[in-house]
Amino acid sequence: MNTLTKTLFWLTFFSIAMGFMETAVVVDLRELYYPEGFDFPLMPIAPRIALTEFLREAATIIMLAGIGILAGKNKMQRFAFFIYAFAIWDIFYYIFLKVLLDWPASVFTWDILFLIPVPWVGPILAPCIVSLTMIVLTAAIIYLQENGFKVTFKQKEFSLQILGCMIIIGSFIWDYVQTHDLSQMWTVSSKEALLKDMTSYIPQAYNWWIFWAGEALIVYGIVLFIIRVKKEGQTKSSLLVSINLNQ
């Protein structure tokens, strides 16, 4: 087993364990707030619990980014390992929820994905598709680097992926913002109960068109990235062969 294989093995193992920890927290929260089973509308959350959840979510991202930084040997590899860890964590979070709670009923079951500054909601299929896209990008980066290509993002490629991510986030809050005043967004200094106004909110329809628009931009950015890197590598190889022949 070479170094890269060992790194990916332990990175995967760590991310799965993180997914279980996330699941364990949610199992406890649902036992407290939804003893009869999770469903919309959501229960209001006290400010102290909301702040704790906000910090826990931030800590999770820091841990996933940290393991990626520690595992990677260069900037692109660190980025690849971070998004890979994030994707595995997210997918196994839902796998463990299914094992422990027999939830969700299907991939189209609605879930609350994030809380701050407004609730993000959507069918669990959507974040799972994003996670699979992250794994594909990780595979592309690692494959290209292992085959000697110079792997970097150009501004256009990176901008397309960032824009795509922002659009997908928009799809998660789209249903909520249609019926709520964004001036009432919750902040960490808020004295009001988080989701107080959601006690009557039930998601109606997920805007898959917005989601697929964002996903298309991300995939387009990845495809441009792969084609350019391979083309530049082939051009460099051709120049080296030409120089050697001339010598």
Strand, helix or coil at 98? helix
Lowest mean pLDDT, pick from 22-26, 75-79, 143-147, 192-196: 192-196
Q: How many CB atoms lie within 10 A of CB 97?
A: 21
Model pLDDT, residue 34: 86
Q: For 219-241, write each residue's pLDDT tens digit.
A: 999 999 999 999 987 765 554 44
Strand, helix or coil at 121? strand
Q: DSSP states of 17-65 as a string?
A: HHHHHHHHHHHHHHHHH-TT---SSPPPB-HHHHHHHHHHHHHHHHHHH
Q: Distance between alpha carbon 244 and the CA centroid of its chain, in Å? A: 46
Strands 120-123 and 110-114: antiparallel
Is 184's pLDDT higher than 70?
no
Structural contact between residues 140 and 132, judged by C-beta atoms closer than 8 angstroms: no
The percentage of the chain sitting over the pLDDT mark of 70, rounded to a whole number, equals: 86
Q: For 48-65, write each residue's pLDDT tens digit.
A: 877 788 888 889 999 999
Could you give the number of structural domains in the chain? 1
Residue-number span of the structural domain to which 228 is assigned: 3-246
H helices of 109-181, in order, are 125-146, 155-177
Is 88's pLDDT higher than 70?
yes
Model pLDDT, residue 182: 61
Cα–Cα distances (Å) from 153 to 160, 221, 235, in that order, read 11, 9, 18
Amino acid at 40: F
pTM to 2 decimals? 0.88
More confident residue, 148 or 192: 148
